[in-house]
């Protein structure tokens, strides 16, 4: 039978085998492994069967710890069980992994290996996570390519049953998991032939069953535990041999031979590099290149089976001639004698060389080094430098490669111009925006090339760190031989730039080869485009002798009904120019792909795309390139000159896409960064921005309140300040008694705005002459950019309104407070950030934030720039992210410390009685600090105290000085999403609210794991579709608020800004004022809901109006006055749940994919909404007073 070749990514390759070879799959989302769970869930939802003809049960758990527990239980009960994870998720599985291995239980975990959060989190790939499991007794099998992922997954599932040793099958996160490559697909029969049903039955026979009961999990004592631990040795002894046998059997089956250690290079090599994972692919390519050109003998040893480690196989695989060995680890163990693979090799060689039968004539010199942490590029040039280092008289040991370590000088030099990419591979790079579909089109192209030609093909996609206006770079390679280049393209024959303005942001022609092709999507005509190019781009085109093509893709898209989608058009251009396929065939294949992609979504969309394809060629033009550049357009500076040095020199380098050039000395030693840096990253991503109509505005403040990015600001100020304002600076008289005589301005930071339009949607003031316009309306950004930059700069010079005089409990008042959370990289129109920003306005100058991992930690703390900001006094929120699961405890710890600091400060103050002004001491100790004026006064007192302390010599004074600021009230905010609060962090959250401590917990409830791409959480509503709930969630949303209210001592509020902004404001103020734990659950519309984000606030209103999301505040303090603590702030349901739900794709799509089920679930959901409402209504009407009158 002819082998089938498919073009897929590593995630699908692993999931395909795991799904086929399992009965139970327990999952939990974590990047970059989530895709494996998503595919499994989707396959199960459509009834896809495994190799035994049954549909595996796929179950989402509340954490990786939970998934591991469920796996353990299922294994103990005889099921073939698997899971997928990475990074900290794998660490959470370790406790169970010891048990599973200790009980000799066969299973395979597929791990897309990822960095561990240390000085910072990183979602990218290295071996830090799997290396943390070395001690568990699991087999560790490393794949380095997409083909190996499919093959080793099958080998692992086979070997685990034969050896009874559980396996981690791992591959590099993103580099391998997200690389698309053309591979041979294993057939179900092939997988089945690798798995012995007798062993499956033996596994089942070991299951816990009351029909043949046994007991496992005993407690053993000093007398026997040790012996018990040694019983498994023989299983580990034979394991490598069994894995090799399985690899041999696999080779017979497929023709692909693998070994525990695979050697490449000269049989008589003197210098050998040992490595595992995707880096070995690039290393193989490099060794081949060098060997063909050098006479020197070098070799490469790829480690496949890392545990159980086989000395015997390692030594047998190394050439007898080896004199020098470099072992490369993709992990770091600070303080260790060396990284783990290095130490293993050293031990093996040392044991062998000191044995009776040493394998090598001379003890080889062995050095170790680190590379590729967090998917750091690992290129042929770096690999060459490792071989060069080995050649040196005194090779550097414990080196690093790929970075510039100017602190401890560990790094090897490498030549960036050493590029080995030859003419046998076509390489194309595409610069685009996330929103323009470039990546999707390229994934399509790779499939077409992979599956419709005899070419091998590879695709890899790089995204940036922002969720709005993000840029993408696609790297496509194809050629007649399998592609092993596991690094980004260094020399491209084709560059596509799908957005004209990216020419100003990136050096898009940096990697283009001489004589290559440049395709540009230009808003200008073929005759005008050249003159609009920046000078640098013109120069590059001329000097590199590029073939230059342009198309006005947006016009073609517009004319063919594609709206803003240019993906199909640019894809057609690529095929038309590149000649990968004959033009007609290419068009036919593109159309086939269109039908496949869009067919199920409707004929009309297919037709539109066809039309776009047909009209592309006639609008694609080759430009005659002049001999000289004529442009005077210079690239703008990345960062303003006014920025602090650190921002200019380090963060600016990252912003420019040159982060690889940042030296070790430029990075903070402990992960500490300055705040308030987003203000220096002017992204200019909005095509349209809001403008303010002074005459129509009623000064309600709603626009500023909902602005997710803090780009609409309001100030009321001395009219004199308008005298020197720029001519275009808008102002009017402030409305309202308390602002009498003041000027009023609403200013938009147009360079930071994302153009989401939420402000326009909520603006209640309509222009009476032209009702389509409101007091806030959208205008084109480009024509006003310069003018508004000047206005914004001027606006910043106007003093903030005095916090003491602000009426905080009104929207209008609250919006005069400076946001200390600004210009985040959240999605345009984000539903979370308006709440976060409001907290920063109300309490930011005295707040510490504990932030759970998730969207809010990413837009809150992802480099290069971060949005948490400072006021004119340099005060602002101090922010940190610990983990996903521990955020409540993390914030709780902050509270404990702050309280202890305060307590000790008071004690010291008391001890200094007599040395410090008694009146001052008394005032400080008795200050109520109930409002901003009180806090201001306390700050004044503390300033005075510090002055007095500075003059004292007593130890108490020295010790009090650094603690004195704690005498001013501090607010602890624990912020995170529903994945944290409802699922993985619920245990901790529950404990913290039960503690009675004064913390404020803000749950940004998007009802899915938004950051990892919309997986179901326990906050997901009944009937909603989410990943891991592809068939619609069959159970109701967990009522977290009710659970917290049960304590009777927790302030609880449920809020939705889009329904009632005043209630939102009140709830936040009350929660912060409450002297105990507070829990606020905030409805946060989200891109994962499938809605028009500009209408996000309307979604919130719909949720409340339908009764699905009742607004309420539960204040335990009310009971002291004989009042019911629960106050419902929203009215009984006035629309049906479906009338709200079906405005959102997450609900609506089920009516299209499974109408019958959708109806059943929707009916259930309606009943549940009414039941819950009724329950709350009754609770709110309960009698609490002693006289029976108060409610």
How far is the C-alpha of 902 from the C-alpha of 1008, rounded, in Å?
A: 38
User: Which of 34, 42, 39, 47 shows the shortest CA–CA distance to 17?
Assistant: 39
Write down the catalytic residue from 38, 64, 681, 761: 64
Rounded to whole angstroms, how far apart are CA atoms 1039 and 1114?
14
DSSP bridge pairs for 1082 = 1004, 1055
Residues that contact another protein, how many (by CB under 8 A): 57
Kindly report each contact of residues 638-645 with a partner whose C-beta sits within 8 Å and lies 24 or more positions away, as own/partner. 639/680, 639/681, 640/680, 640/682, 643/680, 644/674
The CB-of-881 to another protein minimum distance in angstroms stands at 15
Half-sphere exposure of 526 (CA within 13 A, CB side): 13
User: Does 831 help bind another protein (rule: CB under 8 A)?
Assistant: no
Quick one: which H or E segment has residue 713? Answer: strand 712-718
1066-1104 burial: b if 16+ Cβ within 10 Å, else e: bbbebbbbbebbbbbbbbbbbbbbebebbbbbbbbbbbb
Q: Are strands 1078-1083 and 1000-1005 parallel, antiparallel or unpaired?
A: parallel
User: If binding is defined by CB under 8 A, does position 771 make contact with another protein?
Assistant: yes
Closest CB to another protein among 8 and 509?
8
Query: What DSSP assignment string belongs to 187-199?
Result: PHHHHHHHS-HHH
Q: Does 254 bind another protein (CB under 8 A)?
A: no
Of 608 and 1124, CB closest to another protein: 608
Do residues 892 and 999 lie in contact, with contact meaning Cβ atoms separated by under 8 Å?
Answer: yes
> Judged by CB under 8 A, does residue 501 bind another protein?
no
Nearer to another protein, 283 or 1025 (CB): 1025
Among 52, 875, 1145, 1164, binds another protein (CB under 8 A): 1145
Comparison of 71 and 439: residue with beta carbon closer to another protein: 439
Helices (H), 912-985: 918-926, 932-950, 955-960, 978
- Of the ranges 461-469, 498-506, 581-589, 693-701, which one interacts with another protein (CB under 8 A)? 461-469
What is the x/- site pattern for another protein, positions 731-770, by CB under 8 A? -----------------------------------x-x--
Output the six-digit token pair for 354. 């000191």
Check if 846 is active-site: no
Residues 1150-1169 that bind another protein (CB under 8 A): 1152-1155
Q: Is 427 a catalytic residue?
A: no
Catalytic residue among 81, 105, 107, 114: 114
Nearer to another protein, 466 or 730 (CB): 466
Q: How far is the CB of 769 from another protein (least distance, A)?
A: 11
CB of 800 to another protein, least distance (A): 34
Give min distance, CB of 1010 to another protein, in A: 7
1057 counts as binding another protein under rule CB under 8 A = no
Catalytic one of 20, 31, 96, 866 = 31
Nearer to another protein, 895 or 1027 (CB): 1027
Q: Is 116 in the site for another protein (CB under 8 A)?
A: no
Asked whether position 951 contacts another protein by CB under 8 A, the answer is no
What binding mask, one character per residue, do residues 1012-1051 give for another protein by CB under 8 A, x or -? xxx----------xxx--x---------------------
- In the block, tokens 């049954």 appear at 54
Q: String of b and e for 355-378 (b: at least 16 CB within 10 Å)?
A: eeeebbeeebebbbbbbbbbbbbb
Residue placing its CB nearer to another protein in the complex, 38 or 1098: 38
Residues found in the chain: 1191
What beta strand segments (E) does 563-711 contain?
620-623, 688-692
Query: In the complex with another protein, which residue's Cβ is closer, 1051 or 1140?
Result: 1140
Instruction: Give the 3-state secondary structure of residue 522.
Output: coil
Q: How far is the CB of 233 from another protein (least distance, A)?
A: 42
Q: How far apart are CA 597 and CA 10, in angstroms?
A: 20
Residue 169 parent element (H or E): strand 167-172
Question: Is 114 noted as a catalytic residue in this protein?
Answer: yes
3-state helix, strand, coil in the chain (%, to 5): 40, 15, 40
Segment 708 to 727, residues that bind another protein, using CB under 8 A: none
Pairing of strands 399-401, 471-479: unpaired
When asked if residue 598 is in the footprint of another protein (CB under 8 A), the reply is yes
Based on CB atoms, which residue is closest to another protein, 19 or 167? Answer: 19
Within a 10 A sphere around the Cβ of 767, how many other Cβ atoms? 14
859 contacts 889 by C-beta, under 8 angstroms: no
Q: Residue 470, interface with another protein (CB under 8 A)?
A: yes
The answer to whether 437 contacts another protein (rule: CB under 8 A) is: yes
H-run or E-run covering 287: helix 279-293
Stretch 841-880: interaction string toward another protein, x if CB under 8 A: -----------------x----------------------
**731: Cβ–Cβ under 8 A, 6 or more apart, which residues?**
694, 722, 725, 743, 744, 745
154 contacts 190 by C-beta, under 8 angstroms: yes
- Binding another protein (rule: CB under 8 A), the pick from 1149, 1160, 1179, 1180 is 1149
Instruction: Assess 996 for contact with another protein (CB under 8 A).
Output: no
* Token code pair at residue 1185: 């007073």
Q: Which C-beta is closer to another protein: that of 771 or that of 1186?
A: 771
| Closest to another protein by CB, 435 or 927 | 435
Does residue 41 touch another protein according to CB under 8 A? yes
Which is closer to another protein, CB of 466 or CB of 895? 466
Q: Which of 55, 238, 435, 784 binds another protein (CB under 8 A)?
A: 435
Is residue 605 part of the contact set for another protein (CB under 8 A)?
A: yes
Is 174 among the residues that bind another protein (CB under 8 A)?
A: yes
CA–CA distance, 756 with 797 (Å, rounded to integer): 26
Q: From CA 364, how far away is CA 875, in angstroms rounded?
A: 59
Give least dist CB 31 to another protein, A: 4
- Residue 1140 CB, nearest approach to another protein (Å): 16
Tell me the three state secondary structure of residue 434. helix
- Greatest C-alpha distance within the chain: 100
Query: Is 547 a residue of the active site?
Result: no
Q: How far apart are CA 298 and CA 324, in angstroms?
A: 10
Interaction between residue 42 and another protein (CB under 8 A): yes
Please report whether residue 559 would count as binding another protein according to CB under 8 A.
Answer: no
Q: Which of 241, 434, 659, 1076 binds another protein (CB under 8 A)?
A: 434
Taking the complex as a whole, the smallest distance from the CB of residue 463 to another protein amounts, in Å, to 4
**Residue 600: other Cβ atoms inside 10 A:** 11
Q: Residue 313: which of 258, 272, 265 has the closest Cα? A: 258
- Choices 34-42, 49-57, 732-740, 1038-1046 (CB under 8 A): range interacting with another protein: 34-42
Rounded distance between C-alpha atoms, residue 370 and residue 328, angstroms: 6
32 or 89: whose CB is closer to another protein?
32
Contacting residue, 114, 157, 467, 682, with another protein by CB under 8 A: 467
46-65 mask for another protein (x: CB under 8 A)?
Answer: x-------------------
CB 472 within 8 A of CB 433: yes
**Which among 1011, 1060, 1064, 1115 is annotated as catalytic?**
1011
Q: How far is the CB of 55 from another protein (least distance, A)?
A: 14
Give the active site residues: 31, 64, 114, 1011
**Residues near another protein, by CB under 8 A:** 31-32, 38, 41-42, 45-46, 123, 174, 178, 433-435, 437-440, 443, 461, 463, 466-467, 470, 472, 598, 600-605, 766, 768, 771, 827, 858, 1010-1014, 1025-1027, 1030, 1087-1088, 1090-1091, 1145-1146, 1148-1149, 1152-1155
């Amino acid at each position: 039978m002819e082998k089938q070749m498919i073009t897929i990514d590593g995630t699908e390759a692993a999931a395909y085998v795991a799904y086929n070879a399992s009965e139970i799959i327990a999952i939990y989302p974590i990047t970059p492994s989530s895709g494996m769970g998503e595919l499994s869930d989707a396959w199960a939802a459509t009834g896809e069967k495994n190799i035994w003809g049954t549909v595996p049960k796929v179950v989402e758990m509340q954490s990786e710890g939970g998934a591991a527990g469920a796996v353990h239980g299922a294994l103990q009960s005889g099921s073939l069980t698997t899971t997928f994870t990475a990074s900290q998720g794998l660490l959470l599985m370790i406790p169970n992994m010891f048990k599973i291995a200790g009980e000799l239980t066969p299973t395979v975990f597929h791990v897309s290996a990822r960095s561990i959060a240390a000085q910072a989190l990183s979602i990218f790939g290295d071996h830090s996570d799997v290396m943390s499991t070395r001690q568990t007794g699991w087999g560790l099998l490393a794949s380095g390519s997409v083909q190996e992922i499919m093959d080793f997954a099958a080998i692992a599932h086979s070997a685990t049953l034969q050896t009874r040793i559980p396996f981690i099958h791992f591959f590099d996160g993103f580099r391998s998991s997200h690389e698309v490559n053309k591979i041979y697909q294993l057939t179900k029969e092939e997988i089945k032939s690798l798995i012995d049903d007798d062993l499956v039955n033996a596994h089942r026979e070991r299951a816990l069953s009351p029909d043949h009961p046994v007991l496992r999990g005993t407690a053993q004592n000093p007398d026997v535990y040790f012996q018990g631990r040694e019983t498994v040795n023989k299983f580990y002894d034979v394991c490598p041999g069994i894995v090799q046998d399985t690899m041999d059997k696999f080779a017979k089956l497929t023709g692909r031979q693998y070994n525990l250690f695979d050697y490449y290079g000269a049989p008589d090599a003197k210098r050998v590099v040992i490595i595992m994972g995707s880096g070995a692919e690039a290393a193989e390519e490099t060794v081949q290149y060098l060997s063909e050109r050098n006479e020197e003998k070098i070799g490469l040893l790829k480690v496949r089976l890392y545990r159980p480690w086989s000395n015997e196989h390692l030594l047998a695989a190394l050439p007898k001639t080896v004199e020098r060995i470099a072992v490369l680890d993709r992990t770091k163990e600070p303080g260790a004698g060396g990284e783990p693979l290095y130490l293993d090799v050293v031990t093996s060689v040392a044991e062998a060389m000191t044995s009776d039968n040493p394998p090598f004539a001379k003890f080889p010199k062995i050095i170790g080094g680190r590379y590729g942490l967090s998917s750091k590029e690992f290129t042929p040039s770096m690999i060459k430098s490792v071989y060069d280092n080995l050649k040196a008289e005194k090779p550097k040991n414990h080196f690093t490669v790929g970075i510039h370590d100017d602190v401890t000088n560990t790094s090897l030099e490498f030549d960036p111009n050493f590029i080995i990419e030859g003419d046998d591979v076509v390489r194309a790079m595409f610069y685009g925006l996330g929103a323009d579909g470039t990546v999707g089109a390229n994934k399509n192209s790779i499939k077409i090339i992979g599956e419709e030609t005899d070419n091998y093909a590879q695709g890899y996609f790089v995204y940036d760190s922002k969720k709005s206006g993000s840029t993408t770079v696609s790297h496509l390679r194809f050629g007649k031989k399998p592609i092993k280049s596991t690094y980004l393209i260094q020399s491209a024959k084709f560059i596509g730039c799908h957005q004209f303005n990216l020419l100003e942001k990136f050096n898009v022609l940096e990697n283009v080869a001489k004589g290559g092709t440049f395709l540009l999507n230009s808003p200008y005509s073929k005759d005008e485009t050249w003159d609009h190019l920046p000078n640098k781009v013109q120069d590059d085109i001329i000097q590199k002798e590029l073939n230059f093509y342009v198309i006005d893709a947006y016009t073609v898209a517009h004319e063919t009904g594609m709206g803003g989608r240019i993906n199909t058009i640019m894809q057609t251009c690529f095929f038309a120019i590149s000649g990968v396929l004959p033009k007609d065939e290419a068009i036919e294949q593109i159309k086939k792909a269109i039908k496949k992609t869009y067919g199920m979504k409707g004929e009309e969309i297919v037709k539109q795309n066809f039309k776009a394809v047909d009209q592309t060629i006639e609008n694609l033009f080759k430009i005659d390139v002049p001999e000289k550049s004529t442009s005077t357009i210079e690239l703008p500076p990345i960062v303003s000159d006014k920025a602090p040095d650190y921002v200019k020199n380090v963060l600016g380098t990252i912003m420019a896409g040159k982060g690889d050039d940042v030296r070790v000395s430029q990075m903070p030693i402990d992960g500490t960064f300055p705040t308030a840096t987003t203000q220096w990253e002017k992204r200019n991503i909005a095509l349209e921005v809001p403008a303010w109509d002074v005459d129509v505005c009623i000064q309600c403040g709603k626009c500023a309140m909902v602005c997710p990015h803090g780009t609409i600001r309001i100030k009321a100020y001395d009219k004199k300040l308008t005298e020197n304002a720029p001519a275009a600076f808008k102002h009017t008289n402030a409305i309202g008694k308390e602002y009498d005589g003041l000027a009023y301005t609403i200013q938009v930071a147009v360079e930071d705005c994302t153009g989401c339009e939420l402000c326009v949607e909520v603006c209640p003031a309509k222009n009476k002459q032209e009702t389509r316009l409101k007091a806030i309306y959208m205008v084109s950004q480009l024509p006003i950019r310069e003018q508004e930059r000047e206005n914004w700069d001027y606006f910043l010079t106007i003093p903030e309104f005095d916090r003491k005089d602000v009426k905080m409990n009104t929207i209008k008042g609250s919006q005069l407070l400076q946001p200390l959370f600004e210009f985040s990289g959240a999605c345009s129109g984000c539903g979370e950030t308006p709440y976060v920003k409001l907290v920063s306005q109300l309490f930011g100058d005295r707040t510490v934030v504990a932030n759970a991992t998730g969207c809010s930690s990413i837009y809150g703390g992802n480099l290069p720039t971060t949005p948490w900001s400072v006021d004119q006094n340099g005060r602002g929120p101090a922010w940190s992210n610990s983990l996903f699961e521990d955020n409540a405890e993390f914030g709780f710890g902050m509270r404990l410390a702050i309280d202890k600091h305060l307590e000790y400060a008071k004690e010291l103050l008391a001890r200094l009685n007599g040395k410090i002004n008694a009146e001052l001491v008394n005032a400080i100790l008795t200050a109520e600090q109930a409002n901003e004026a009180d806090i201001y006064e306390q700050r004044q007192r503390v300033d005075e105290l510090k002055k007095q302390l500075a003059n004292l010599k007593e130890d108490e004074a020295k010790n009090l000085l650094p603690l004195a600021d704690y005498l001013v009230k501090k607010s602890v905010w624990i912020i995170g999403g529903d994945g944290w609060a409802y699922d993985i962090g619920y245990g901790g959250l529950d404990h913290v609210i039960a503690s009675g401590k004064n913390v404020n917990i803000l749950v940004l409830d998007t009802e899915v794991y938004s950051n990892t791409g919309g997986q179901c959480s326990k906050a997901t509503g009944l009937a909603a579709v989410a990943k891991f709930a592809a068939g619609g969630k069959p159970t109701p949303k967990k009522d977290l608020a009710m659970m917290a209210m049960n304590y009777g001592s927790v302030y609880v509020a449920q809020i939705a800004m889009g329904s009632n902004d005043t209630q939102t404001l009140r709830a936040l103020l009350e929660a912060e004022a409450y002297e105990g734990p507070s829990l606020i659950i905030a409805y946060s519309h989200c891109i994962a809901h499938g809605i028009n984000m500009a209408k996000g606030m309307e979604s919130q209103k719909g949720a409340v109006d339908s009764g699905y999301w009742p607004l309420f505040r539960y204040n335990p303090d009310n009971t002291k006055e004989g009042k019911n603590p629960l106050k419902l702030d929203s009215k009984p349901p006035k629309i049906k749940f479906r009338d709200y739900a079906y405005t959102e794709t997450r609900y609506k799509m089920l009516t299209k994919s499974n109408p019958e089920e959708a109806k059943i679930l929707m009916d259930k959901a309606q009943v549940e909404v009414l039941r819950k409402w009724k329950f709350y209504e009754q609770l709110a009407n309960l009698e609490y007073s002693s006289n029976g009158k108060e409610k």
